[in-house]
Every structure is written in C-alpha cells, then in structure tokens.
Structure 1
Amino acid sequence: MNDAESVRYWSHPAVDRVDLMHARFRRHRFRRHSHETFAIGLIEAGPEDLGFSTGTDVVTAGGLVLINPGDVHTGRAAADNAWSYRVFYPDVELIAALAGELAFGRPPVFRERIVYSPQLFAALRAAHRAAGTRDDLSGA
C-alpha cells in the first residue's frame, strides 16, 4: 500500500437514516471520540488498532467492527501499516426498529465488538459498494 490517505463520507438517497464512509489511512489517528449512531465497520485491508476503555484490539482484513452509540474509542493503523475500511452509520431509531426494541422496552446493543464472518462481510461489502456507486440497491 502507498502513503496516500483518503476519506469519503456520504449518504445514499434510497437508504434513509444511514450514513456511509470509505477511508484509507496510514498516519491519521482518531482521538478519543464516540458516535451518536451505531457504527458497523468492515476492515478491507491492513490491520487497525482499535482502542476502548477496556483495552485495545487489532482488527485485521475481513473483520467486522461493531460499535454502540456513545462508546468512546480510538482508531489508528496498527504498527506502520495502512488500513482501509468501510463503515455504515445507522441511526439508533433504525436499529431499534429492526431489532424490535419496542417489544423489550430498551435499546438494542451490539454484544460483540469484533466479528469474523466471511459471508456477512461479503454481503455488507457488496451493499456498501453499491451505495457508493449510486446503484438503486434493489438488485432488479
């Protein structure tokens, strides 16, 4: 990988209440921050050093990163490697509706922070790429 860094942040007109990002970083470091939304990240290449108050995890290519709203975290390239990734930022109300939150009276949360599932990764990556090309996402 070269030293070029890039980031693109957008929303797709057919997908309400979900922002998207595609980025590639080598030197950039995210300071402690949190999101008002959920974050579903897909590590495409290189390892990411992901820090939480409970410790640090290194997530490698093919890994899914699941972050709950309000979880304070950091992110940077692990060692001297670049990493690239895609992220969905669905809002809390959308995830609550999908999870049936009203039936239980409490908001949903991700129980796992890092997941390796090749099938889920491939499906989410295809959807993210389609949203980046302005495809209608219908598959028709």
Structure 2
Amino acid sequence: MIEVSRFWRDPALPFVEARRVGDGRKVCYAAHSHESFSIGVITGGRSTYLTGGTRREVAAGTTVLMNPGVVHTCNPIDGMPWSYLMLFVDLPWLQAQGFVLLEVTWSTSAALYGRLLQVFADLFDGCTAAGASGKEAMLAAFFAALPGYLEAAPARAGTSEHPRLDAAAAFIRAHRLDPLSLEDICAAAGLSRAYLIRAFGKRFGLTPHGYLLDQRVQHARAQLRQGRPIAEVALEAGFADQAHLQRAFKQHLAATPGHYRSGSRN
C-alpha cells in the first residue's frame, strides 16, 4: 500500500525536516505559509500550485520553491492522484551557508529534479556514510549549487511596497500568541478596518484573521517539533483547546498534531 505521509527528522540536524507524500489526494491544504525555506518535487501525477497570486498546473518532474512567509497552496486536480517530496530548511542555517533567497517559484529543470531526488534519498534512506555531518555537507553543497539550476527569475509584477500593510503583518507576527482583535491591528498600522480587510488579503493572500491563525499554527509546529505536549502547545499558541488546534493544524498542514509530532506514518 502507498505510504500516505511520512515526516523525516534527525535530532543531529535540527535545522531541516522533510516530508514524503505518496497520495496527495488525502493531503490537502488551505492557504498557508512556512517560516522555513521550502523546496519540493512533484513525483507523480499533477496538481495546482498557487503562490504570489499566480496559479499554474504542475506535474511530475517539477520543482516548487517557497520563500519564508509566502502564502501558497498545492492541491490535487479533480481528485486525480499525485505525489511529492518536500524539504523545509531553517533560514538562519541557510544564511550561514551564504544562501540568498530566490524569486523563482518553480522549475522544470531535469537536472535539478534529479539532484533533489538524490537529496531526499540520502535523507530518508540514510545512505550518506558520514552520518549527520555528511548529510549536512550534502545539503550545503546542494544549496550552493541550487541557483545554477534555475532560470533567471522573471520580473515580479504587482508587488509594490506598502509599509502600513507590512507593519500590520509584522504586528500580527510579533503578537501571534496574544488575543488580538482587528481593532488592535488597525491601531498599530494606522489603517481603517475596511481598508485593512480589503487590502491585506490582496497583499498577503490571507485575511488578517487567516494570517494570525497561520502564524499560530507555525508556532505550534515549531513547539511540537521539540516534542512538547499537544494540549500545552495548543493553549500557548492561542487555541481554545487541543481540538481547535487539531482542526487548524490539519487544515493548514494536512497532518494531525500527533502525526506531525511523532513523525509516524499514516
């Protein structure tokens, strides 16, 4: 039977985790973002990929890239089967390697696809003889080579600066564990309620409430990754109870908190 979902982690490499999904029809996402840099490959079938206001169809052989904080979704097309592999890497570690974030969000480079498949094989199957240090060196070499696999980034249209909206998002991030109201955010950013609701979604792809919920799920994810109790994390992250966290976590990450925390198989 196809393995629906499995997470990979290594305590010796806390800056990285990976996920393998064998049946993407059972793992669907709401719009969400990651605090980490994310890169993955479609390994079977086709799906839709929505990022930065651009929607496209991606198929086996495609690499997708998501910078930290960028709202995106990747879901099946009309119930058709698809599968993928994802790698999530903490930004401080990448920056320590001299890596600069990229504007490219997808690529059909066969060379990149093949290189990433080998990266995942080394992580999941433990075939790197040098252990954790060898895997870290392998990852560093991959990210050093990554820009060379990608085509020149196209100019980004419609991404004008808006400091007040950026301030609203920053305020939400800084207070994501607090009982925030829409009025709190408006006051901090100096924006009217009507304008914030209308413009925030256009800028970030989520409503202010949706953005706050996404931030709380990200916090919960980071704490669960450390093995903390689910109920404790739920309350700390601003959820009413464990069941509330479970619903939001599964909607955003297509996995239950327990499944994510343990890294177990579906």
TM-score, structure 1 normalization:
0.81
Match of 1:95 in 2: 94
Match of 1:111 in 2: 103
Q: Which runs of 4+ in 1 moved over 6 A?
A: none
Which of these residues, 12, 34, 41, is aligned with residue 10 of structure 2? 12
Match of 1:23 in 2: 21
Question: Is the contact between residue 21 and residue 83 of structure 2 (CA under 8 Å) also seen in structure 1?
Answer: yes
Question: Is the contact between residue 37 and residue 89 of structure 2 (CA under 8 Å) also seen in structure 1?
Answer: yes
Question: Is the contact between residue 4 and residue 26 of structure 2 (CA under 8 Å) also seen in structure 1?
Answer: no
Displacement after TM superposition at 1:14 (Å):
5.7
Which of these residues, 110, 115, 121, is aligned with residue 113 of structure 2? 121
Which has a greater percent of helix?
2
Which of these residues, 122, 130, 134, is aligned with residue 130 of structure 1? 122
Bigger Cα Rg: 2
Deviations 1:82-136 (A, max 9, x none): 1111111011012212235xxxxxxx32211011111121111012022111233
Question: Is the contact between residue 63 and residue 115 of structure 1 (CA under 8 Å) also seen in structure 2?
Answer: yes
Deviations 1:19-74 (A, max 9, x none): 00001311432001100001101110011211224121111110000000000111
Q: Name the CA shift for 1:27/1:99 in 2 (closer, same or farther; >3 Å).
A: same
Q: Name the CA shift for 1:125/1:137 in 2 (closer, same or farther; >3 Å).
A: farther
Q: Distance in 1 between matches of 2:52 and 2:19?
A: 24
Question: Is the contact between residue 12 and residue 131 of structure 1 (CA under 8 Å) also seen in structure 2?
Answer: no
Q: 3-state DSSP class of the match of 1:29?
A: coil
- The one-letter amino acid paired with 1:113 is T
Q: 3-state DSSP class of the match of 2:31?
A: strand
Match of 1:103 in 2: none
Determine which structure has greater relative contact order: mean sequence separation of CA pairs < 8 Å that are 6+ residues apart, divided by chain length: 1
Q: Distance in 2 between matches of 1:53 and 1:21?
A: 23
Match of 1:49 in 2: 48
RMSD across aligned positions (CA): 2.3
- The one-letter amino acid paired with 1:43 is I
Displacement after TM superposition at 1:17 (Å):
1.0
Q: Distance in 1 between matches of 2:121 and 2:109?
A: 18
